[in-house]
Chains A and B, each alone.
Chain A
Amino acid sequence: KAGVTQTPRYLIKTRGQQVTLSCSPISGHRSVSWYQQTPGQGLQFLFEYFSETQRNKGNFPGRFSGRQFSNSRSEMNVSTLELGDSALYLCASTPGTGNGYTFGSGTRLTVV
């Protein structure tokens, strides 16, 4: 059974640019969540999608957005990148409440 796949694994972008990260959940998992991980702040919740609808949103500026497609694949977009957006972005999927997440390997974004 394939795990959660995130692409790309590494990304280097310049301030002001925008970036799109992709996540393919485990087959059958309809809930996909995104987290930003930094050494200082730990794991910060970005948003959660279920059946193409954003069900939860964290406390991030509007520059951070996401979407989910009918096949449950999800993308997150960050516009007008800032140096502080440099982080590991983790995607996770779950079949439902209480089952815990299965995480992808993450996308390491570096903004220069």
Chain B
Amino acid sequence: AQTVTQSQPEMSVQEAETVTLSCTYDTSESNYYLFWYKQPPSRQMILVIRQEAYKQQNATENRFSVNFQKAAKSFSLKISDSQLGDTAMYFCAFENRDDKIIFGKGTRLHILP
């Protein structure tokens, strides 16, 4: 069974700094998708970024980028120039052909003024 592990339950960084959230996963499949979701205190889950496993190039969305290491089964999220609005719970997620998305336990990120 696929699993997703986020080893950092909670992190705090100063505004404008860069922060990296870690995620590892376990799967025997070669074709799958990885995602990072953000859940602010308002509780609305928002898709931040997605990565297709067969694409070598790391995905980027404005200040958000990933470091996808397929062999190591690692998928970290980097937030550059962090802003107060980035304060949220961040979930790493994995999807294979079954169309079922498995989520990690989440990392609570605090951006400090």
Contacts and interface: CB of A to CB of B under 8 A. Distances in A.
Interface of A: 31, 33, 35, 42-43, 45, 48, 50, 55-56, 88, 90, 92, 94, 96-103, 105-106
Given A48-B100, A100-B33, A100-B35, 10 more contacts: A33-B101, A42-B106, A43-B91, A45-B100, A50-B99, A55-B99, A56-B99, A97-B97, A100-B101, A102-B47
Contact of B99 (A35, A42, A48, A102): A48
Interface of B: 33, 35, 37, 42-47, 50, 52, 91, 95, 97-106
A31 B91 CA distance: 21
A101 B93 CA distance: 10
Contacts of A102: 47
A98 B101 CA distance: 10
A33 to B, nearest CB: 7
A106 B90 CA distance: 17
